Amino acid sequence: MPNLGAHVSVAGGLYKAFERAEATTCRAIQIFAKNERQWHARPLTEEEIALFRAEQRRTGLGPVLVHDSYLINLASPKDDLWQKSMNAFAEELERCRQLGIPYLVTHPGAHTGSGEEEGLIRESQALNRLFAEGIGEGVTVLLETTAGQGTCLGYRFEHLARLIELSDYPERLGICVDTCHIHAAGYDIRSREDYEQVFAELDRIIGLDRVKAFHLNDSKAGLGSRVDRHEHIGEGMLGIEAFRLLVNDPRFSTVPMVLETPKGKEGLEDIRNLALLRRLRQQPDEQPNEQSAGIAERYQEPAC
C-alpha cells in the first residue's frame, strides 16, 4: 500500500525521518518541521535542506506531511496570541516550502469563548492574510477534523466548509480526516452503512476531492464523547471494521494515510499497526525487512 505511513521522529535532523520511515515500512510520512512545543525555531540551513531533499530522493518515500505546532491558535480572539500564532504559522509554511513539502496539517483552532462563527472568521482572516502575502507558496494547508474538546473548532464538517467558503484562496485549502477525531465528534464509521453515510455527508458538505490526507487512529473514548485520545488500530472504540472499510475504499487509494497511534519504548508499534492495516487490505506487499526491528528500536519518539 503506497499510501500508508506514520508520524516519524526527526530527532537528530529532519533528514533522519526517512531512515526511520524505511525501518517501519512507511511509504507516506508525517513529521514536525520544528519543535512542536516551541513558538520559534532557528532558520533552516542550506545543508539541512539539501540533506532532507537528498534522503527523500534516495528513499523515494512520500508524500511528506508536516503537522504544525500545538501552540498555534489562529482562531484566538486575543490579538497578541493571534498575531503570535500567525507569525509561527508563517514560519511553518515557509519551512514546508523550503523543504518541498506539499501539505501542512493544522487544527482549526479554538474560539476560547468568542463563539464558533467568530472563531471561524478569525481563523480565515489569518489564513487569508498569510496567503495574500505569498507565504509558503505552493503549500496546501490541510484543515484537520477535530474531536471538539473544549472550544476547539473543526469537529463538524460544516466548520471546515465554512473556512473554505470564507477563504480568498480556496485552492490552498484541503482536509485531513482523523478517524479518532471524527468518531469522538459523533461520526460513526464502524459499519458499512454508517461509513457510507458519513462519507456521503462529507462529500455533500465539503467534497471528497478536498480530502488530501488521513490520520489513522483508533479511539480510547466513545462515539460523540468529544474526547481526543488515540489508541492502536483495532484496540479502541472504533474497532477493526472501520479501518477495513477505509483502506479498501478505492476513492482514497492514493491519499496518504498516516498513523498517530501511541509509541512505546521500543518503537515497534508502527510496524505492527501498519502490518495489520496491510492485512486488512489483503495486500501484504511491504512487510518489515529483517533489520526493521533493530533499526526501529534505535529510534524512539514520544507519543503524538
Q: Give the tens place of pLDDT for each residue, 163-180.
A: 999 999 999 999 999 999
DSSP string across 121-138: HHHHHHHHHHHHTTTTTT
Q: Which amino acid is at 207?
A: G
Residue whose entry in the numeric block shows the C-alpha cell 506539499: 102
Q: Give the tens place of pLDDT for each residue, 97-131.
A: 999 999 999 999 999 999 999 999 999 999 999 99
Is the CB of residue 179 less than 8 Å from the CB of residue 246?
A: yes
| pLDDT for res 22 | 94
**Angle between helical axes of 192-205 and 240-247 (0-180°, round to 10):** 50
Please give the domain boundaries of the chain with CATH numbers for all domains.
4-298 (3.20.20.150)
Separation between Cα atoms, residue 258 and residue 262, nearest integer Å = 13
Does residue 183 or residue 300 have the better pLDDT?
A: 183
| pLDDT for res 264 | 75
Residue 206 grid cell: 465539503
Q: Give the tens place of pLDDT for each residue, 248-298.
A: 999 999 999 999 999 976 669 999 999 999 999 974 444 444 444 443 444
The overall average pLDDT reported for the chain is 92
| pLDDT for res 265 | 64
The single-letter DSSP state of residue 108 is -
Residue 80 grid cell: 497578541
pTM: 0.92
| pLDDT for res 301 | 37
Q: Give the tens place of pLDDT for each residue, 122-167.
A: 999 999 999 999 999 999 999 999 999 999 999 999 999 999 999 9
Query: 178 pairs with which residues across the strands?
Result: 215
Separation between Cα atoms, residue 299 and residue 275, nearest integer Å = 19
| pLDDT for res 302 | 32
What backbone phi and psi angles, to 5 degrees, belong to 274?
-65, -40
Catalytic residues: 37, 67, 70, 107, 144, 178, 181, 215, 228, 230, 260
